[in-house]
Chains A and B, each alone.
Chain A
């Protein structure tokens, strides 16, 4: 028996060889193991996020206050954009599972159709994330300010449009006195009016008060800022100072309103240069530094997974087009890339809840 067993396989026992004890192929099993380890990575990141958040009290940014902008429509739509992103990813997960289903029926045309839809959905998600990052990095029109008592506040309201800078004192190569600098004739060094205004505020190159602001431009030009009045300007204190306590999201009374001098306090901070616009690796206008870092790392790592998912989908899609899997007699490769794609969706479900909702 034992002497000539080399080509005899014990197919009757589950672990005897030639059969899969788990009823799945080697490739699929390894994909599952990879996904478990990848899920542990994301789990670790989200737990680290939760840990850091727990160690801060009221200062941690709140999803519906931070993410409330829509492309073309501006601010005031809490969570609408991330909800759209979530929906895009769910739909592309659905088209993927439909491709797998078509593969089970050996329906090549169906697989092509649904995989193409999945790839397009993936690109839509990546594009949305690019916009989201760009918006996060550039920040709001108001930015966040440090008040005189050392407290830090984010700003809500609608920012009055900047109409132009009227030159008071001409600079090195700027327009002459009395002329108006607008978005049409502003120097390329300044970019546009909003950019010039933000830059001057950060550098402490603004002076005056709300209705009467003066700006120092790069070339030494001193100009009067023509700007529409801001509306409903409210300060939400995120970090307490000696005078102001942290504003509670559930209680609008704890915000600093216009009646309580929010406009003057805001522009006083702006002329002191105590303002942060947007986010980078050192600081961000939304809250603690770690918040920005976790945002970049977790959504970035997830976005990287989406990106590689799209690439893998494209490779498999080309294989489907060439008919490789049809000749093979099964579409298991589509199933395997599908597993990875669903996993990406799965991770986003958790990121959505713990980063944006809670």
Chain B
């Protein structure tokens, strides 16, 4: 019986000329996206001053845009999006749990130690 959960090594992942074209199209799209997002961040960073009324919104926007950029780099450039689901989670989940926990602890503590922003 054929089983669909048995995989060969990825050593010989090759693709054809046409598939290559598709892959490259995606790469250039992500390039454009990363460049535009960075440009938007710089313009916003130079225009909106810290402490102004719009600053909090911009700060949250910066973090969201950063996560967007990181997502595209990891999923497209590092091809994690093409890997098996189990590998995706083995890479991402421990990291997310540890880092979110660390951030929670550090920032809670920081607000107790020093003046809040």
Contacts and interface: CB of A to CB of B under 8 A. Distances in A.
Do chains A and B stick together as partners? yes
Interface of A: 11-14, 19-25, 28-29, 32, 35-36, 39-40, 43-44, 47-48, 50-52, 54-57, 62-64, 78-80, 82-83, 86-87, 90-91, 93-94, 96-98, 100-102, 104-106, 248-251, 329-330, 332, 335, 338-339, 342-343, 345-346, 349-350, 352-353, 356-358
9 contacts: A23-B8, A47-B99, A54-B111, A55-B115, A78-B46, A86-B38, A102-B20, A250-B51, A349-B66
Interface residues of B, number: 69
B111 to A, nearest CB: 6
Interface string B20-48: 10011001101100110011011001100
B51 A55 contact: no
Interface in B47-74: 49-52, 55, 59, 62-63, 65-66, 69-70, 73-74
B27 A358 contact: no
Contacts of A19: 6-9
Contact of A44 (B27, B42, B102): B102
B83 A48 contact: no
Given A44-B102, A332-B10, 20 more contacts: A14-B5, A23-B10, A24-B87, A28-B10, A36-B95, A40-B95, A51-B109, A54-B111, A57-B115, A78-B46, A83-B42, A90-B35, A94-B77, A104-B14, A249-B51, A250-B52, A250-B55, A251-B51, A346-B78, A350-B70
Contacts of A23: 7-10, 83-84, 87
Interface in B73-90: 73-74, 76-79, 83-84, 86-87, 90
Interface of chain B, main secondary structure: helix
A357 B41 contact: yes
A60 B68 CA distance: 27
A87 B78 contact: no
The 5 lowest CB-CB distance pairs between A and B, nearest first, are: A55-B114, A54-B110, A250-B52, A23-B7, A250-B51
Given A79-B45, A343-B78, A330 B99 contact: no
A24 B10 contact: yes
B69 A349 contact: yes
A29 B6 CA distance: 17
B6 A55 contact: no
B101 to A, nearest CB: 10
Given A36-B95, A50-B103, A54-B117, A105 B17 contact: yes
A98 B7 CA distance: 26
A212 to B, nearest CB: 36
Nearest to B51: A250
B86 A22 contact: yes
A250 B50 CA distance: 6
Contact of B50 (A44, A56, A62): A62
B15 A105 contact: yes
